[in-house]
């Protein structure tokens, strides 16, 4: 079949790869000049099956209220007027609140872990087949706590993960330092932690761009620099996709109508507004995340184990001679500027935290201080449950693979493989509630809404 994939992030490119594996003819469309230049560009770099917990839990509403007026808050809800796109934010927020209970949390964890384990296996298969190198470190993921009350709940979370097959264990401070000695100078603040040895880390952008190149070598057609103007529907099914080339010197933009047997929308946060134009209304809303990449000044003192800092809800991962630190979620629309008071506060928070935890290890100076940090912000396509939509829509020949939130890198390879299997008439081997299906993967009580 001829399949058009809209979006060239980790989700779209993984989808293209697995479609090619099954003999399909693939075209990938993206407005950027290369793959992985938006949401997949500079994330936390974690393949975190052991920590794929939903944002919605019983403590989230109170914390969100407490953090409402803090520009550097780990979770910042910035209310929009409840009109137009602002209504989507309020609707999403109400559905999020409905998931903030223990029963929904466990149900959602079960789904996220199932997809995570399947995806981790799929990623390893792709790496073996392609030999792609992307600063991969198979050292596990650690999570440390500086608050005793928060640490006291770590055992319950670890037990829940073990219930669904993830070997996440609670460790004391001494054990944590054996796992990662780089935090020794900060150990007086650490009260304990957890560790999952099976997790790993690596650069999602490098991997995605290399995989896109492998796809192109196998015959996939990548239409970079093309804006998706509209989905064109006829008789309840997609007839074509109108895309327009971006302006270049000595060339006028051209409108092109692409035809295919099947279309997969994998446009991250922009998936929802695009699908709404053809009557498919999904609660995907952008959660703006931030990251900073710092040059290592003392590589011998930098961590090799990717780690989560529970106090400020950020993750740090070593990428060669740099340290990537990412975190915070801002629910406030589609704006991406780094030149705002909120953005500057959040970037500074990441730099200050790394200097506190790993003093002198990285060049954390801001630009005005002579430093060269690489700050970045990107939109995380979040659902209220954190469970992505993977499957067939009610519109003929139209599929969706989006809504992965902060877990696009963790779930990317498996999401691409699963939707390729579904399009090919196969059944993915995992207990996951695929969107638009009524087969064996749907179980009572597993509906995300």
- Per the structure, the count of domains in the chain is 1
Averaged pLDDT of the chain: 94
Predicted confidence (pLDDT) at residue 438 exceeds the cutoff of 80: no
Q: What is the pLDDT of residue 354?
A: 97
Max mean pLDDT among 64-73, 75-84, 291-300, 432-441 falls in: 291-300
Phi, psi (degrees; rounded to nearest 5) at 278: -120, 20
Q: Is residue 343 part of a domain?
A: yes
- Specify if 319 maps to a domain: yes
Q: Which residues pair with 168 in a beta bridge?
A: 196
Give me the pLDDT at residue 439, please: 43
pLDDT at 96 over 70: yes
Q: In Å, what is the CA distance from 355 to each residue of 72, 271, 320, 361, 368?
A: 16, 37, 19, 8, 17
Confidence band for 81, pLDDT divided at 50, 70 and 90 = confident
Cα separation of 272 and 88, whole Å?
Answer: 10
> Would you say how long the chain is, in residues?
449
Give me the CATH number covering residue 144.
Answer: 3.30.9.10
How buried is residue 90: exposed, middle or buried, by Cβ count under 10 Å (0-12/13-18/19+)? middle
pLDDT band, very low/low/confident/very high, at 446 (cuts 50, 70, 90): very low
Write the CB contacts of 374 (distance below 8 Å, at least 6 apart in sequence).
42, 292, 293, 294
Structural domain including 62 reads 58-83+136-199+285-382
Residue 268 forms part of a structural domain: no
SS3 292: strand
Query: Which of 1-5, 79-83, 342-346 is predicted least confidently?
Result: 79-83
User: Would you give the distance in Å from CA 271 to the centre of its chain?
Assistant: 14
Asked if residue 251 belongs to a domain, the reply is no
Per the structure block, which two tokens stand in for 201? 């880390």
Cα–Cα distance measured from residue 373 to residue 323, given in angstroms and rounded to the nearest whole number: 10
User: Would you call 107 helix, strand, or coil by DSSP?
Assistant: helix
Instruction: Tell me the CA end-to-end span of the chain in Å, nearest whole number.
Output: 33
- pLDDT band for position 370 (50/70/90)? confident
Which residues 6+ apart lie within 8 Å of 40 measured at CB? 9, 10, 204, 205, 208, 408, 409, 412
pLDDT at 403 over 80: yes
Q: How confident is the model at residue 225 (pLDDT cuts 50, 70, 90)?
A: very high
| Separation of alpha carbons 125 and 271, rounded Å | 28
Give the whole-angstrom CA distance, residue 329 versus residue 140.
Answer: 24
Within-domain flag for 5: no
Kindly tell me if the per-residue pLDDT of 443 is higher than 50.
no
Rounded CA separation 109/241 (Å):
36
Domain for residue 274, yes or no?
A: no
Whether 102 has a pLDDT exceeding 90, the answer reads yes
d(CA 109, CA 165): 11
Predicted local distance difference test score (pLDDT) of residue 251: 79
In a domain? residue 94? no
For residue 149, pLDDT beyond 70: yes
Q: What percentage of residues in the chain have a pLDDT greater than 70?
A: 97
**Lowest-pLDDT range, 177-181, 294-298, 331-335, 355-359?**
331-335
Both tokens of 200, joined, read: 């790993």
Closest CA to 408 of 75, 38, 160: 38
Mean pLDDT of the region 185-213: 98
Confidence band, pLDDT 50/70/90 cuts, at residue 448: very low
What is the pLDDT, as a whole number, of residue 12?
A: 98
Is the pLDDT reported for residue 241 higher than 80? yes
> Which residues lie across from 285 on neighbouring strands?
382
- Distance between alpha carbon 69 and the CA centroid of its chain, in Å? 26
Q: Is residue 263 part of a domain?
A: no
pLDDT digits (tens, 9 = 90+) for 310-325: 999 999 999 999 999 9
Q: Is a pLDDT exceeding 80 seen at residue 218?
A: yes
């Amino acid at each position: 079949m001829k399949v058009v994939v809209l979006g060239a992030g980790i989700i779209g490119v993984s989808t293209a790869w697995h479609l090619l594996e099954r003999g399909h003819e693939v075209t990938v469309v993206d407005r950027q000049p290369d793959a992985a230049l938006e949401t997949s560009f500079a994330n936390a770099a974690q393949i975190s099956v052991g920590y794929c917990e939903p944002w919605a839990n019983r403590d989230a509403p109170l914390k969100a209220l407490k953090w409402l007026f803090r520009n550097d808050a780990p979770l910042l809800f910035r209310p929009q007027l409840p009109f137009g796109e602002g209504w989507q934010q309020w609707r999403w927020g109400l559905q999020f609140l409905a998931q903030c209970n223990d029963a929904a949390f466990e149900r959602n964890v079960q789904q996220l872990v199932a997809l995570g384990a399947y995806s981790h296996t799929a990623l390893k298969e792709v790496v073996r087949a392609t030999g792609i190198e992307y600063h991969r470190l198979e050292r596990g993921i650690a999570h440390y706590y500086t608050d005793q009350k928060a640490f006291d709940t770590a055992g319950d979370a670890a037990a829940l993960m073990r219930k669904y097959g993830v070997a996440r264990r609670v460790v004391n401070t001494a054990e944590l330092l054996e796992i990662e000695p780089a935090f020794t100078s900060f150990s007086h603040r650490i009260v304990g932690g957890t560790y999952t040895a099976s997790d790993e880390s690596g650069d999602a952008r490098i991997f995605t761009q290399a995989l896109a190149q492998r796809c192109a070598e196998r015959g996939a057609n990548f239409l970079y620099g093309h804006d998706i103007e509209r989905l064109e529907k006829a008789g309840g099914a997609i007839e074509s996709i109108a895309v327009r080339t971006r302006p270049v010197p000595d060339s006028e933009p051209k409108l092109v109508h692409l035809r295919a047997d099947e279309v997969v929308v994998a446009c991250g946060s922009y998936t929802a507004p695009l699908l709404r134009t053809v009557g498919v209304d999904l609660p995907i809303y952008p959660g703006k995340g931030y990251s900073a990449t710092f040059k290592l000044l003392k590589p011998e003192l930098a961590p090799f184990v990717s780690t989560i800092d529970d106090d400020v809800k950020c993750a740090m991962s070593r990428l060669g001679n740099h340290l990537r630190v990412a975190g915070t979620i801002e629910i406030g629309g589609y704006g991406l500027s780094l030149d705002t008071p909120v953005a500057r506060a959040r970037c500074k928070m990441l730099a200050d935290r790394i200097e506190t935890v790993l003093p002198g290890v990285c060049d954390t100076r801001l630009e005005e201080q002579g430093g060269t940090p690489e700050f970045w912000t990107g939109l995380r396509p979040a659902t209220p449950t954190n469970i992505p939509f993977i499957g067939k829509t009610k519109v003929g020949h139209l599929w969706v693979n989006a809504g992965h939130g902060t877990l696009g890198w963790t779930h990317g390879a498996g999401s691409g493989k699963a939707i390729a299997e579904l399009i090919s008439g196969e059944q993915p081997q995992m207990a996951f509630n695929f969107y638009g299906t009524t087969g064996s993967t749907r179980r009572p009580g597993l509906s995300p809404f």
